Amino acid sequence: MPTTKPATEKTSLRRQLSWPVIVVMLLGGHATLIITAVTMAVGGTGRGVVPDYYQKAIDYDQHKADLATSARLGWQLTLTPGSLVDADGQRIVSATLIDAQGHAVEQAEVHLRFVRLVDGQTVDTVLSAHAKRLGVYEAVVHLPEAGWYQADLLAELETNRFVERQEIKITGGTATAGEEGV
């Protein structure tokens, strides 16, 4: 006659094997979650990058007041980044500034800050008035990479102060000799 083990021995063996398996599975799941979180934090889309976030938080009330003043001014900005990049990563960026009546805003001091949303890289520049086109300000800016940028503009004329923020997509490739826009 075949002998069988008592039921208590099978149960205790199963119980002895199940606890280590549960612990190993919990540790493996935890390690997977940690690796996923680190990967998302380091190599994410970059929309979470906020350069100077602490200073922006401190200056929040002043920034809101500047936005309200800008809205009352009624100025409008059209920002146009050049699509062609030279060998040094330079491209022409132009900004057209018009007042509430549709007239060109002339002789303003125009500052522009680009923040690349992928990695938070910041480029500051001052735009100069275009010699032949009223209300148009231009600069050659080091923006070699295509992608999404946050553009913060500050234009000052006498006592008027205009601020605006735009998210723009910069496209384009390298210009060859003789092409316009570089």
User: 16-20, 68-72, 121-125 — which is least confidently predicted?
Assistant: 16-20
pLDDT at 72: 92
Residue 147, by phi and psi: left (phi above 0), alpha (psi -120 to 50) or beta? Answer: left
pLDDT tens sequence across 78-98: 998 888 888 888 999 999 999
pLDDT tens sequence across 123-139: 898 988 887 888 899 99
Residues 119 and 77 sit within 8 Å (Cβ to Cβ) = no
Question: Nearest CA to 150 among 125, 179, 120?
Answer: 120
Whether residue 5 has pLDDT greater than 90 = no
pLDDT tens sequence across 38-48: 887 776 555 55
